A = this chain, B = another copy of it.
Amino acid sequence: MVTIEDVAKICGVSPMTISRVVNGSDLVKESTRKKVLEAIKETGYRPNMIARRLVQGNSKTIGVLFSNYYNQAYTDILFSIEEVAYKNGYNVINANVDDYEHAVNSLNFFLGNKVDGIIVLPLEMNMLNVIDYKQAMAETQKFLEYFYNTVKEQEVSVVTVSQNIEDVFNIAFNFTEMAQKAMNFLFVKGYRDIAMINSNLNDGFWADKERVYLQSMKEKGYEKYICIERDIGLMEGGNRAMERLLGKKIPQAVFCANDYIAIGALQTINKHKLTIPSEIAVIGNDNVYFCEMTAPKLTTVSLNAKLAGKVAMERMLKLLNGEKLDGSEYVVETELIIRESV
């Protein structure tokens, strides 16, 4: 490997001069600069970041912990974090962690490599085998505790997205607003007989969305139409729940707690040869990429993952800059995305 010393010898100067040229100092005579630049090019010398970091202390890199490449919300967040980081001279290293052990390993990798900051995205341990959601949540919780205890005595800045950790600034999605916007749009379109398909895990944001559904139906005086089917929060769940729902009645519209459920519902409706939206309308939540791919294209409410990533990285930069953050949370605004299914 070519080192700074090698280049220095070739040029007949001290390593310090090479360092100055590399770092763009203007305290170098033009003629020596030229000589050095040439030698660098010839030798293919590139500064050893490892050595530089060791002395400088900071690494100009931040680590991102996330789960599941298939959840587009997460890759959207990742993507915009990277974008903002890159623009500001930071590199990001990310770790896709799907179990406790792996997460611990990745955290230690980040810490051992002295990342300047860590952004924690929603973690879903063992979600590839979605057999036991509750257990997955428990494992996530266990890691979050480990994370908290480990990180509090290290010099890293931390920001989370949709994740609550003591003393950590969080970028929160607005699940309540998402449900509200979906319901409002259905009301505006004149639907009264609106059913809901929800996850069978009645906690967290699922519960929030159900609450919105119930309350807004009551406010409108549509109590008699209230009808909720529950299943797993994935396409298959949407398939089955819609099947059961159609066994009871054909509502004018269905509010699905997320897009995967909605996509499943769409499939079942198509199978029954009902026309969407004239015979039955469907609205989702999240705005995943697939919404563009369904037949008909799915109307939904975006949780604005890209914005979340952008804000997360911006807040991180502030922390890294020694600034204090206002409050403890930033709530991401949501957006109704009108397509064809309503």
Contacts and interface: CB of A to CB of B under 8 A. Distances in A.
Contact of A49 (B79, B82, B112, B153): B112
Given A69-B69, A94-B94, A294-B293, A112 B46 contact: yes
Contacts of A94: 93-94
B293 A235 contact: yes
Interface stretch (A103-111, A157-165, A169-177): A103-111
Contacts of A295: 266-267, 270-271, 294-295
Contacts of A31: none
A57 to B, nearest CB: 8
B70 A75 contact: yes
A12 interface: no
Contacts of A293: 235, 263, 267, 290, 293-294
Nearest to A153: B44
A95 B91 CA distance: 9
Interface in A255-272: 263, 266-267, 270-271
Contact of A54 (B46, B51, B271): B51
Given A112-B46, A292-B235, A82 B96 contact: yes
Contact of A111 (B46, B82, B113, B290): B46
A111 B228 CA distance: 55
Interface of A: 1, 44, 46-51, 53-54, 59, 69-70, 72, 75-76, 78-79, 82, 86, 91, 93-96, 102, 105-106, 108-109, 111-114, 150, 153-155, 235, 263, 266-267, 270-271, 289-290, 292-295
20 contacts: A1-B155, A44-B154, A46-B154, A49-B109, A49-B113, A50-B53, A50-B113, A50-B114, A51-B54, A69-B75, A69-B76, A75-B75, A78-B96, A86-B102, A91-B106, A91-B109, A93-B93, A267-B293, A267-B295, A294-B294
Given A49-B114, A94-B94, A271-B295, 15 more contacts: A1-B154, A1-B155, A44-B150, A44-B154, A48-B112, A49-B109, A49-B113, A50-B114, A69-B79, A70-B289, A82-B96, A86-B102, A263-B293, A270-B270, A290-B293
